[in-house]
């Protein structure tokens, strides 16, 4: 194994402070030297089958890292008496294509005898996330590797650890800070909402019953609010999905921030980034420069990937990503 870089890591996802981790882009250089190409090809095939692969995989990575760290615990299936993370109400809307992307990539890696059972599910998810971002037109970047898979996946661990659509800036900052991430990093990572979709019930209050004085959230662009009402009538099927980015929903770009400037953030937690004076300058900076956004996003998602990582003492490499043993 190549000598690995010693890098100061992000905070733990359970508030236990900071640590040093041993991740390196070269972790698999002698264990499974072609791992990145194998994963990239498997992800490309899946992406060609359905675009949902991109937002689904990115969201899976975020939901994994925010609950006790980037350890692949989101991939585990409930079994026996154990109700796993993926079955928590906040995770039920995770699209199956994200899980399938990781499983397909894992199968491809394990088809190589030298690599079989030597590459963690957590690392495959981190690589797949980078690959879908690039396939959707976003930046490619170096992924640090060497994570082990977590030994625990409990739905109860998810409580209070994921950002909610109604969050204000203080709530967002507090949650991201618990993972060692700054306000600017939070705003950059929110740019992942340039892809993907949400269901009507996640934002219906903004267009139908916002407050006693305003049925519609006054920070919403009026035409956008009208469009949302058309797509999400009051008695709509809750499975109806709406694009997070109404302008370029299939491209990973900085238009998300331009949308916020125009009152077209789908969630309260999106629009507040522009309406709150503390976060507005970063939104304006990212809206004005694709390069600045990409630079900040790559730095932030790299830091996110260091949260709560496991090693050989408190993790393992799962032969099956869905099974703890």
Please state the residue numbers annotated as binding site for substrate. 163
Binding residues: 64, 67, 69, 71, 73, 85, 163, 193-194, 245, 248, 253
N residues, the chain? 325
Residue 150 tokens read as 């977590």
CA distance 9 to 287: 28
Q: What is the DSSP letter of 142?
A: -
Instruction: Determine whether 63 is an active site residue.
Output: yes
Binding residues for heme b: 193
Q: Which of 27, 63, 254, 294 is catalytic?
A: 63
Q: Which helix (H) or strand (E) holds 242?
A: strand 241-243
Produce one character per residue of 279-292: b if its CB has 16 or more CB atoms within 10 Å, e if not.
bbebbebbbeeeee
CA distance 152 to 71: 9
Contact residues for 9 (Cβ-Cβ < 8 A; gap 6+): 18, 19, 20, 21, 23, 180, 306, 307, 309
Q: Residues with catalytic annotation?
A: 63
């Amino acid at each position: 194994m190549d000598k690995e870089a010693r890098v100061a890591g992000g905070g733990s996802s359970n508030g236990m402070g900071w640590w040093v981790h041993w991740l390196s882009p070269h972790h698999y250089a002698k264990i499974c030297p072609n791992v990145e190409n194998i994963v990239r090809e498997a992800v490309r095939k899946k992406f060609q089958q359905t675009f949902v692969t991109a937002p689904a995989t990115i969201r899976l990575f975020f939901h994994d890292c925010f609950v006790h760290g980037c350890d692949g615990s989101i991939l585990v299936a409930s079994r026996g008496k154990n109700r796993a993370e993926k079955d928590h109400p906040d995770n039920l809307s995770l699209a199956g294509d994200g899980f399938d992307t990781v499983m397909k990539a894992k199968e491809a890696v394990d088809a190589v005898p030298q690599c079989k059972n030597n590459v963690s599910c957590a690392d495959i998810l981190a690589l797949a996330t980078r690959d879908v971002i690039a396939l959707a037109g976003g930046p490619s970047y170096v992924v640090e590797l060497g994570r082990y898979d977590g030994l625990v996946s409990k739905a109860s661990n998810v409580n209070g650890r994921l950002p909610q659509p109604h969050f204000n800036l203080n709530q967002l900052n507090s949650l991201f800070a618990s993972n060692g991430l700054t306000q600017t990093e939070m705003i950059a990572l929110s740019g992942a909402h340039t892809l993907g979709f949400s269901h009507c019930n996640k934002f219906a209050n903004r267009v139908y019953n916002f407050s006693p004085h305003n049925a519609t959230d006054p920070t919403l662009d009026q035409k956008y609010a009208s469009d949302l009402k058309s797509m999400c009538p009051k008695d709509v099927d809750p499975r109806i999905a709406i694009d997070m980015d109404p302008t370029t929903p299939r491209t990973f770009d900085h238009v998300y921030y331009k949308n916020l400037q125009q009152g077209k953030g789908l969630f309260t937690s999106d629009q507040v980034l522009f309406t709150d004076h503390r976060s507005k300058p970063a939104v304006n900076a990212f809206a004005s420069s694709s390069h600045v956004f990409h630079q900040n996003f790559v730095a932030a998602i790299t830091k996110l990937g260091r949260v709560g990582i496991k090693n050989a003492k408190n993790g393992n490499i799962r032969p099956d990503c869905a099974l703890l043993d």
